[in-house]
Amino acid sequence: MPISKDDPLRRREFARGVTDILPAMPGAVAWGVVTGVAMVKSGLALSWALAMSITAYAGSAQLAVLPLLKDASPLWLIGVTALITNLRFVIYSAAIRGWFTDYTRLRRVWLGYLSGDFVIVTFLNRVACEGTFVHRDAYFFGMCITNWVLWNVASIVGIVGAAYIPTQWGLEFAGVLALLALVVPLCRERPALAGETSAAVVAVLGHAWPLRLGMIAAIMIGITVAMLVDARQRAARASPQARS
């Protein structure tokens, strides 16, 4: 994704992407370190851990396959588990795809690959507030590349320093807090709050389901509940007398 030097507007969008994503990065860094440590502690050789971390670029999928690798599970199970752990990105990319149809296919492939939870939510927040803007790809890429670099540096630190980084500190909780910081501001509307709450309940109830299917059920039910509350709210606004 070349950032042409003769277009200051493009560079400014790239820079804004970098600054917009930075506040969430302490969470991504903590998570990267913990993922790196977990890979080595599970018995993965240093070189495999490094290779997986840099190419797979999917923290939750990497953590999900670690116990499978340890148990010498068949490769198809590893592939299916990684796919299902990543399924939330199908829903994310469905939500953002309309903003990227102007760009070349190759560019979309890389922007998709480099995206992550923090990037998608920050992007959707901006277009929800400001509507469309030019050089969305540069803005998105600025966020992605910052996330990618910091995540990989953190993972490598975790992998190489696994012996010296205590796991009982609960460092990964910083990653949870960073995601929490993205969720809380989104829940001021009632449909979002209802969807979020039901997704949380289903995710907790279904956490032990095989292949992380509880997570998918949670997202589906959360979206459905949010839609129902949204529809009711609209109906109530349209005819205040006919409230049920």
Partner 1 sequence: MDNYSPFEMILAIALIVVSTFVTRSALLVIGERVKFAPRVEAALRYAPVCALAALVAPEILLDAAGLAVSLDNPRLPAALAASLFLLWKRSIVGCIAVGMTVFALWRVFVTGS
Tell me the closest approach of the beta carbon of residue 171 to partner 1, in angstroms: 9
Asked if residue 114 lies in contact with residue 144, where contact means CB atoms within 8 angstroms, the answer is: yes
SS3 content of the chain, % helix, strand, coil (to 5): 80, 0, 20
Q: Which residue lies nearer to partner 1 by CB, 12 or 173? A: 173
Identify the residue among 33, 138, 162, 226 touching partner 1 (CB under 8 A): 226
Q: Closer to partner 1 by CB, 158 or 195: give it.
A: 195
The alpha carbon of 88 is separated from its chain's Cα centroid by a whole number of angstroms, namely 8
d(CA 179, CA 172): 11
Stretch that binds partner 1, among 6-14, 48-56, 146-154, 157-165 (CB under 8 A): 48-56
Please, how many CA atoms are within 13 Å of residue 165, restricted to the half-sphere of its CB?
25
Q: Which of 2, 4, 5, 98 binds partner 1 (CB under 8 A)?
A: 98
Contact region with partner 1 (CB under 8 A), list: 4-12, 59-67, 147-155, 156-164: 59-67
Q: Which residues contact 171 (CB under 8 A, 6 or more apart)?
A: 30, 33, 34, 165
202 binds partner 1 (CB under 8 A): yes
Q: How far is CA 200 from each of CA 130, 164, 197, 208, rounded to the nearest angstrom? A: 29, 34, 5, 14
Backbone φ/ψ region at 72: left (φ over 0), alpha (ψ -120 to 50), beta: left
Stretch that binds partner 1, among 4-12, 152-160, 166-174, 235-243 (CB under 8 A): 166-174
Does position 63 interact with partner 1 (CB under 8 A)? The reply is no
Q: Which of 70, 149, 161, 235 binds partner 1 (CB under 8 A)?
A: 70
Does 177 interact with partner 1 (rule: CB under 8 A)? yes
Closest CA to 62 of 137, 174, 172: 172
Q: How far is the CB of 236 from partner 1 (least distance, A)?
A: 17
Out of 46, 67, 209, 224, point to the residue binding partner 1 (CB under 8 A). 224
Query: Binding of partner 1 at residue 176 (CB under 8 A)?
Result: yes
* In the complex, minimum distance from the CB of residue 59 to partner 1, in angstroms, rounded to a whole number: 11
User: Distance (Å, rounded) from C-alpha 44 to C-alpha 72?
Assistant: 12
